[in-house]
Amino acid sequence: MTEPDRPARPTLAKIIATLGPATDDEQVLRRLVLAGASIFRLNFSHGSFEAHEKRLALVRRVGEDLGIPIAAMGDLRGPKIRVGRAPDGGVELGAGEDVVILSTEEGEARLVDGTAHLPCTYEPIGREVQPGERVLINDGAIRMLAVEREAGDPDGSCRCRVVVGGLVTSAKGINLPDTKISAPALSDWDWECVEWAVAHGVDFLAMSFVRRAAEVRELRNRLAGMCSVSSAIAGAGEGALIPIVTKIEKPEALDELDGIIEAADGVMVARGDLGVEMDLAQVPVVQKRLIAKAHEWGKPVIVATQMLETMMDRASPTRAEASDVANAIFDGADVVMLSGETAVGKHPVLAVETMRRIIGATEERLEELRGSDHPGERLVDYGYRTAALAHGAAHVAQDIGASIVACWSQKGGTARYLSKNKLSAPIVAYSSDARQTRRMALLRGVTAIHCAPPASGALSDWNAKVEADLLERRWVREGEPIVLLAGKPLGSAGATTTLAVHYIGDPSTGYMRHTSEECES
């Protein structure tokens, strides 16, 4: 396969690629962007701030070199409970054996009178886990039930009986699906990561293990506070108000789903821990429910975890994995995510290329099946002028078979409203705000372009600029119709007032005075 020297016409759904050792080479990262990745994930569960800073700098450099707005998402660890240090070779647990989980991560896993004692990062575990509740290790591969403590067990420990055994190694995750844990949504380490993300201009923050809307509001309030003292934090300012993506991976979150989605800027269906914390058979149903609910609120939704897991080692996915990616797109996912496949896998670029090809084939089929789509109910209820114009643009684009819908979207609002109308045509959004062009990477169907408005400020001059730009990128041909959304003054937020139809190469259409195809609200 010949590697492209520039990105192909983008798919509507977006791709997140996780950064790691496999992406630390600049040429690999460049190829990932050209293959279709538009957002890169910094996983704060692993690595130092020094390593994250180097990777973020590389993302920014590649984006600048290619002239493409590339977003960075910081993924907060949240209250993840882990096994402490284990000896080389791990500790083998057999079915029927007892295990004592200690309330400290100090020391190393060991046998005491034939019973395994495992250090743990969660001090209240002995107080909060009750007999009969499940204790799972390593994504549920090892399954245990809590039992009554015995005389001589260390203070604060939790005794369990192994149901399904296996090998325990250092830092494996512990899930407590039946236990109401008291751990805060964000640990001291998470707050350090938030401050680092603000100082370094990260574009999104993903919040793990969200249980309640109040937790999302707490993070947003803290970010607002950082904004108010931005002089003390390098590079903060308005950028401190980083959009928040809530990761749904706890069953408790489903009880307060509307409030959580309303409080957030986006939603992630984090199927890894979700599949451990609840009945695995329910995960596909929950995925569909979460996507539909996100659409109702007009928020972008990401589907993540094990999408092309086989490609960690192999050069092609299984048929089931290909179907999984396609079904996420059929369900309406705005974004799909790769984790280990790009961070530590053997074929990171091929994984992104494969995902893009699956998305493209699926979107072609969706276009064949397409009927009449509507924006989310809450989006309609807002009653915003720009939302109404975007809804109208979607219908105009469908009626005339527009190749592209182009807009000036200074702060991303017009692009977001267009995206939630689920257009079949790509959306090209222009803005002079570099930060906002990166943040548009989360929006389905939107390709953002960072540029200054025409010096004249005239919409007709912007019309000419859009036409030249789309022709140069080979995204349109002479005679094809496009839809334009903008307003005066260009470069100002909230100025979108005008919708127009333009035929490429025809100077009598578009933002021309007295044209019959221009509608102003």
In SS3 terms, 113-164 reads as CCEEEECECCCCHHHHCCCCCEEEECCCCEEEEECCCCCCCCCCCEEEEEEE
Q: Which amino acid is at 491?
A: G
Determine phi and psi for 176, rounding to 5 degrees. -125, 75
User: Which whole-number Å values give the CA distances from 486 to 390, 412, 414, 426, in the listed order?
Assistant: 11, 12, 9, 16
- The pair of three-digit structure tokens given for residue 17, joined into one six-digit string: 């690629």
CA distance 233 to 251: 36
Per DSSP, 439 falls in state H
Q: CA 58: distance to chain centroid?
A: 20
102-112 core/surface letters (b: 16 or more CB in 10 A; e: else): bbebeeebeee
Domains, the chain:
14-78+185-368 (3.20.20.60), 81-175 (2.40.33.10), 377-520 (3.40.1380.20)
Q: Which amino acid is at 266?
A: G
Determine phi and psi for 144, rounding to 5 degrees. -140, 165
CA distance 289 to 204: 23
Regarding pTM above 0.95, the answer is no
What pLDDT does residue 65 have? 95
Categorise residue 139: left if φ over 0, alpha if ψ from -120 to 50, beta otherwise. left
Q: Which residues pair with 159 in a beta bridge?
A: 100
Residues with Cβ within 8 Å of 288's Cβ and at least 6 positions away in sequence, in order, are 331
- 513 touches 501 (CB < 8 A): no
> Which residue is associated with the tokens 């000419």?
464
| pLDDT of the chain, 521 residues: tens digit per residue | 445 555 556 899 999 999 999 999 999 999 999 999 999 999 998 889 999 999 999 999 999 999 999 999 999 999 889 999 999 989 999 999 999 999 998 999 999 999 999 999 999 999 999 999 999 999 889 999 999 999 999 999 999 999 999 999 998 999 999 998 898 989 999 999 999 999 999 999 999 999 999 999 999 999 988 866 554 444 445 556 899 999 999 889 999 999 999 999 999 999 988 888 888 899 999 999 999 999 999 999 999 999 999 999 999 999 999 999 999 999 999 999 999 999 999 999 999 999 999 999 999 998 888 754 555 555 544 556 788 888 889 999 989 999 999 999 999 999 999 998 888 899 999 999 999 999 999 999 999 999 998 888 788 889 999 999 999 988 999 999 999 998 887 877 777 788 999 999 887 777 654 333 333 32
CA distance 94 to 126: 22
What pLDDT does residue 489 have? 79
CA distance 242 to 37: 21
Q: Please name the helix (run of DSSP H) or strand (run of DSSP E) that holds residue 71, with its range, or none.
A: strand 71-75
Categorise residue 67: left if φ over 0, alpha if ψ from -120 to 50, beta otherwise. left
Question: What strands lie across the sheet with 518-520, from one edge to the other?
Answer: 446-450, 427-431, 404-408, 481-486, 498-503, 518-520
What pLDDT does residue 511 have? 64
45 burial via Cβ count (<10 Å: 0-12, 13-18, 19+):
middle
- The pair of three-digit structure tokens given for residue 396, joined into one six-digit string: 């105009």
Pairing mode, strands 81-82 and 481-486: unpaired
CA distance 483 to 499: 7
CA distance 235 to 232: 9
Provide long-range contacts, Cβ within 8 A and 24+ apart, for 219-226: 219/185, 219/186, 219/194, 219/244, 220/244, 220/263, 222/191, 222/194, 223/194, 223/198, 226/194, 226/195, 226/198
3-state secondary structure of 501: strand
CA distance 89 to 170: 10
Residues with Cβ within 8 Å of 427's Cβ and at least 6 positions away in sequence, in order, are 404, 405, 406, 407, 415, 418, 419, 443, 445, 446, 447
Sign of CA dihedral 420, 423, 424, 428: negative
Determine phi and psi for 473, rounding to 5 degrees. -80, -5
CA distance 260 to 218: 12
